[in-house]
A and B are shown apart, each in its own frame.
Chain A
Amino acid sequence: MTSTVTSTVTSTAATGSVRTPDIRDIEQFLYREARFADEHDYDAWESLWTDDALYWVPAGADDSDPMTQMSVIHDNRNRISTRLKQLKTGRRHAQIPMSRLRRVVSNVEIIGTDGAETTVEANFVLVESRERGRELWAGRYTYRLRLVDGELRLAYKKVALVDNARVLPTLAFLI
């Protein structure tokens, strides 16, 4: 396992200044986040998030207003923690046994930078295998990544499912 690899971005000890993360730093972070999710490494996945995190899977459209419209997931930091604690009870039946998951994250684009925060988008395709069937999930991720103490952290992740206006199967894993 390589989960001990950190996402520290090179800094110069002399000045303490931190260089802007480049596309390789970002990709490595995204792949790591995807692997933690695929492998149900809940603690490692949770440690990637900032304290003000938002994890959002819109429903009906990619940009429906989550304050007035239903979402598939609309988790603030507290609810992310609740979701993970529930998974860790061993009694989250919709994940017993856990889904076998592998996703490909691709077409990674840096959309913009605002202070310490970088907005990144990427496409993904994910295969889920469970006893009663296989599901294909796909969509576009939007991430806001922030440098916190020289390390990349996840402040925001939006998952725009291509199927978000359709009938969806249960989604009890981390997407």
Chain B
Amino acid sequence: MTLADAPLPPPVDAPGRAGIPYQDLIRPLQVHGSLYTDPAIFADELAKIWYRTWVYVGHVSEIAEPNDYVRKNIGPQDVVMTRDAAGEVHLLLNRCAHRGNLVCEADSGNSSSFRCPYHGWTYRNTGEMVGYPLVQGYGGKKQFSLGLGRVPRVAVYQGFVFGSFAEEGPTLREHLGEAAGEIDRLVRLSPEGEIQISAGWLKHRARANWKLLAENETDGYHPQFVHSSIFTVAQSGIGALYGDRSTAVTRALGNGHSENDLRPEFRRIGAPLGWFGTTEARMPDYAAKMRSLHGAAAEEILIDGGPHVMIFPNLFIAEIQMFAIQPLAANLTVQHVTAVQLKGAPDMNRRMLQQCVGSVGPAGLLLADDTEMYERNQAGVAELRPEWLDVRRGAHREYVDERGLTVGGATDETGMRGFWAHYKQLMTEGRAS
């Protein structure tokens, strides 16, 4: 065994600030403001969430060919996602084992190895050491083998690559649980059953805590306020999906995942591709492919559309676009966002990209306003009183469905309560009680 295979020091056990009373800071219907502002809590979250649970890192289509690589991240960690010559995916930490320099400066590329520019130590794209120059200084070749750090567990679901810094723990499939079906719903929209992440990513800064973003993603209460400007001028039907009379629901999917399930509204309206603001007549090639592939089942797929799901802690799929949330500090987060592209659906892809570009990112007709709210929220939550944030909306009317999942109304905070229940579990488990 080389050192490349040795486990990283387990950051899971990093203490953060001893004695943060998460069990008191997170109540069933309230959460404490310090959870968004305290740097010690942020450090604790890195250890107990980001460097431990499954975190979305990238998609296999971003490293489609052998020896492709792309730079990604897990929180503040700079992670190089590689595909080796045999096709296996690796997540390597961008740090030379010699002096800690970055070994990969390019955003993406194709290479079977990484050579540190500082003193020339070289690594395979699997993380193993190839060698070091001027070998006499080490008493000859291959006197030792220091590899790149690696994310010890890498797992792929439907092309989505996740990494976990914990050597052991729930499998990715266990972590995803009921959310896996929402990823299935997304890839099912492709006539070839695969999505592609090929459009590049916008990187949008939010001077706000990452949890404000994660909570907002399936908050059906805010759209009619935050987005009323664009709903009005674009005569969008999105606002009505999140109205008081909407039949859509918010569902806590377990493990902190949540969704706005808009299918009840789309089915009530019953228009194929209505979810995408278009019609079958305007996407004839795509609709024909889907109908020939799925037969009678195509009608439902075309009516239901894509998922609107937040996968804890950092992947948000919003029908036609995908966000990866990257926390950098208690008050700093980057939203990475790209258009979903469906393999085998060029007509859909053109429209998906242009719609997505209009909606998201720094100038997005939707996301600029969400981000404004995140930043105002971060400023507001630093005020000393009233200390608590309220997450009670809809608690009195939620119910448990046939899958055993908690369901609330379209505008209810059911998803947030699910997020916090899981957060509390992660932040408190393993500590002596």
Q: Hey, which bits of chain A sit against chain B, CB under 8 A?
A: 57, 59-60, 64, 66-75, 79, 82-83, 85-86, 89-94, 96, 132-133, 165-172
Contacts and interface: CB of A to CB of B under 8 A. Distances in A.
A67 B368 contact: no
B357 A71 contact: yes
A69 B204 contact: no
- The interface residues of chain A, by DSSP majority, are classed as loop
B350 A168 contact: no
B361 A59 contact: yes
Contacts of B203: 166-168
A85 B365 CA distance: 11
Contact of A86 (B202, B233, B356, B379): B233
Contact of B204 (A86, A91, A165, A170): A170
Interface residues of B, number: 38
A72 B350 contact: no
Contact of B361 (A67, A70, A89, A96): A70
Contact of A89 (B205, B232, B339): B232
A59 B368 contact: no
A13 to B, nearest CB: 42
B200 A171 contact: no
Contacts of B232: 89, 91
Contacts of A169: 204-205, 362
B371 A69 contact: no
Interface string B356-372: 11100111010011011
Contacts of A96: 372
Interface stretch (B172-180, B223-231, B264-272): B223-231
A169 to B, nearest CB: 5
Contacts of B221: none
Contacts of B334: 167
Contacts of A74: 354, 357-358
A94 B368 contact: yes
B372 A93 contact: yes
Given A86-B234, A89-B232, A169-B362, 5 more contacts: A71-B357, A86-B230, A93-B229, A93-B372, A170-B368
Contact of B356 (A67, A70, A92, A171): A70
A123 B357 CA distance: 25
Interface of B: 107, 198-205, 207, 226, 228-230, 232-234, 334, 337-339, 350, 353-354, 356-358, 361-363, 365, 368-369, 371-373, 375, 379
A79 to B, nearest CB: 6
Given A82-B234, A85-B233, A89-B229, A168 B204 contact: yes
B362 A170 contact: yes
A66 B230 CA distance: 23
23 contacts: A60-B200, A64-B200, A67-B353, A69-B199, A70-B202, A70-B337, A70-B338, A70-B353, A72-B362, A79-B358, A82-B365, A86-B230, A86-B365, A91-B229, A93-B229, A94-B372, A167-B334, A168-B203, A168-B204, A169-B204, A171-B362, A172-B368, A172-B372
Contacts of A57: 363
A167 B356 CA distance: 18
A165 B369 CA distance: 22
Given A83-B365, A89-B233, A69 B372 contact: no
Contacts of B362: 72, 168-172
A91 B372 CA distance: 12
B368 A68 contact: no
Nearest to B358: A79
A88 B432 CA distance: 57
Nearest to A166: B203
Contacts of B379: 132
Contacts of A69: 199-200
Contacts of A83: 365
Contacts of A67: 350, 353
Given A82-B365, A132-B379, A170 B371 contact: yes
Given A86-B233, A171-B362, A91 B228 contact: yes
A171 B368 contact: yes
A71 B364 CA distance: 10
A79 B200 CA distance: 22
A93 B373 contact: yes
Contacts of A60: 200-201
B199 A68 contact: yes
B261 to A, nearest CB: 27
Nearest to A167: B203
Contact of A70 (B200, B207, B371): B200
Given A60-B200, A165-B107, A167-B334, A70 B372 contact: no
Nearest to A69: B200
A91 B371 CA distance: 14
A98 to B, nearest CB: 12
Q: 6 smallest A-B Cβ distances: which pairs?
A: A91-B229, A94-B368, A85-B233, A171-B362, A89-B229, A167-B203
A172 B363 CA distance: 5
